Amino acid sequence: MRHPHCVVVGDCMLDRTLLSTTSRICPEAPVPVAVLQEVRDAAGGAGNVAANIAALGGYPALVSIVGKDEAGYAIGSCLQHVPNVWLSLLDHEAVQTTVKMRVVSGGQLLLRVDQERPYYDVIGYSDVQARLVQHLQGTMSESLRLFVISDYGKGMLPQASVDNVVAAARTVGALIFVDCKRELYKYAGVVNLVKLNLQEAMDSVDDACHPGLAADKITQGCTAAHLISQQFGIPTVVVTLGADGVAVSSEGQTWNVPAHTQAVFDVTGAGDTFMAGLAVAFLEGADLRSAVDMANVAAALAVQVHGTTIVTRFAVEQFRRQQREPQFKLATLEEARRFASYCHDAGKKIVFTNGCFDLLHPGHVHVLRTARAAGDVLIVGFNSDESVRQLKGPTRPLIPQGERGLQLCDHHVVDMAVVYDEPSPDRLIRAISPHVLVKGEEYRNTTIPGAEYVASCGGEILLVPMLDWFSTTQLQVRLDGVQTTTTGQAAAS
């Protein structure tokens, strides 16, 4: 596995969901009887942040402390199955791993039971701090650009630990982002960004008398973010507001980013997912506004699933494309390559088809629908104007490539459309490596561009029967005939 470019440090916990059925009331008390059906474990806290960073396309190292107990081993087991997470877990016999158990029936949370014992006394041991420094040093590499601190207040991050993390980050010139519940003073003047939810932000400025703190949630969030930035010397403060979006204060400016409205089933771990989205966007060079947008999308997807969940980059990109205008489905070759990589990582079946799509007609739509039904994602390549002229002659295309691209993207079955200048889509096909290549039946006895490559990768070639009388050339001939007849009639009259 490649060296990490991000280190996640903080409190790990085990999120354990007890899935049950309920059909009767307990005779001892008026409460439901939950019959256990399944136990699902997931890494929570810093572990959830690291897992989501990896799923969104990052390469994180996770440094945390767990107990030498069943829950600690379960966290390690959960994370070992997450690709691209570099595990660096300290275990200590004096630590009790934090466990959050949720009893769920029919999608409804019935009860949460927490098992925790803060271990500030343990982490304060000089030998534990020495081990922490060793683990941090073990993650150091030239590619390291960001430290994410996940501080749930469970004992992993007293001031001594924070100082060691800050020192490690400074040795490689990495940024420091913090997801903090309380005790902001530990991070005053030494980190680049802090994320809190509205209640945590309000608690951090509860001594401040400001009219904005008594207003609506958006004003409260923006005001609190600005006050925290000023009071603690933190350049950027992000306050999540649930359905009201996000409040951001950075470099003296404060603004609100609306939420992506979704059906909310469970907010468990949504803050971790938001932080992961923020981190990955920054690692990819996004500006603050774009990073917050990506984090917003990731969190919106997380709340649609019961329990702690891992949101993939594929899901984020699909959501973005579905929410935006058709032109956002248009992509360059490099964008298609990245999107296809997300699809492959998510185990999605990619279907590809191509053509000039000049004068889009029912025959084209038939092929597109058949292609989309053959997999999970449909990427369509279409010839540029110059490429069409090379194939069809100087009088074509009838419709310019910009409009042809938008017509393709306007179809809900199309996930992405990519224009190419070459007569053949072979380079595009090699870039996305589709599982299925779709062409019309009339290509059966011809050499289909990219077919040999797709077959060599274990893919399949699907030939779709064409609809009679529906091809651009036939339609043009018919239209020319109608025009000639009409002109002749007009002349005779």
Given 272, 293, 358, 415, the catalytic residue: 272
Torsion angle of C-alpha atoms 339, 344, 349, 354, degrees rounded to 10: 40
* Cβ neighbours of 212 (radius 10 Å): 17
What type of residue is 335? E
Strand stretches in 312-415, DSSP E: 330-331, 350-355, 377-383
Task: Look at residues 391, 345, 475 and name the one whose alpha carbon lies nearest to residue 82.
Answer: 345
Taking a C-beta distance cutoff of 8 angstroms, is the pair 49, 11 a contact? no
Instruction: Judge contact between 228 and 198, C-beta under 8 A.
Output: no
Cα separations in angstroms, 48 against 44, 70, 149, 334, 355:
5, 18, 12, 30, 43
Amino acid identity of residue 280, one-letter, is: V
Q: Considering only CA atoms, which of 402, 347, 411 is closest in space to residue 379?
A: 411
The CA-based diameter of the chain, rounded to the nearest angstrom, is 105
- Give catalytic status of residue 272 as yes or no: yes
SS3 63: strand
CA distance 158 to 170: 19
C-alpha 99 chain-centroid distance: 26
> Per DSSP, what are the bridge partners of residue 194?
178, 237
Catalytic residue set? 272
